[in-house]
Amino acid sequence: MGRRTAVAGAAAIMMLGLAACSAPTTTTAPTGTPTPTPTATVVTTAPTPSESPDPGASSSASGPLTMPTCDQIMDAAATAELFDSAIVPITGIDGLDPQGLPGPVAQAALASASNRVSCMWGIPNSDGGFHGVVAELDPTTRAGLVAALDASDYERSTVAGAPTWGTDVDDVMGYSVSYTIDGDAWVIVLGTLFFHDHSAPVTERALAALRAANA
């Protein structure tokens, strides 16, 4: 199924349940964002990290990362080209709740990230759309997350030179999750009625915007 068909075809059966495009936050993530019930198999505790990705372009050695804006990650032209012109930024709702991620290791990692930007795009009055989150992780949290992902059944690949783990979950509506580590940055793409192959171009744009902001 093509990207346009998969997203546009789902519009008729979806209802509003999407999280906002929000500015970088320095507080713990708000609660209450409607999210799919995670069913993917992930480890429940972080194994002892053996090796973490080498610091990449998104390294915070000189200070906190500068986060891109939601519009820099995905603007109207990009959503129309990649998916459908009906997809717009969803505003007025809090960012992605860490409890919406599959697995306690990922949940704890996102909850610990005080420097992050959380965005959402979708078709209004629907349950379909996708989150895009960029978060800065400390080295210990990052290493624990990578070890947990390597021990999970997530498929590992590479996007824009950065290691990526992802899976599709076949529940009532279906959703996908993709995690990418680039230096100290963690890019999350999570979508309802959204498939894993849709995540790569979103991740690519998020990494490009992040790297440009920290060049």
- CATH number for the domain harbouring residue 155: 3.40.1000
pLDDT at 45 over 80: no
111 in a structural domain = yes
Q: Of 16-20, 30-34, 184-188, give the range with the top mean pLDDT.
A: 184-188
Helices 139-150, 104-112: crossing angle, 10 deg rounding: 160
The answer to whether residues 74 and 121 touch, using CB atoms and an 8 Å cutoff, is yes
In a domain, 136, yes or no: yes
Query: CB of 118 within 8 A of CB of 96?
Result: yes
Let me know: does 183 contact 56? Beta carbons within 8 Å: yes
Structure token pair of residue 134: 């960029």
Q: Are 38 and 190 in contact (CB under 8 A)?
A: no
Give the pLDDT score at 44: 39
- pLDDT at residue number 193: 74
Residue 60, in any domain of the structure? no
Assess if residue 187 is contained within a domain: yes
**What is the average pLDDT across 152-180?**
91
Question: Can you give the residue range of the structural domain that contains 96?
Answer: 3-52+65-213
Average pLDDT, the chain: 77
pLDDT of residue 38: 40
In a domain, 58, yes or no: no
Residue 182 lies in a domain: yes
What total of structural domains would you count in the chain? 1
Q: Which residues are paired to 192 by β-bridges?
A: 129, 175
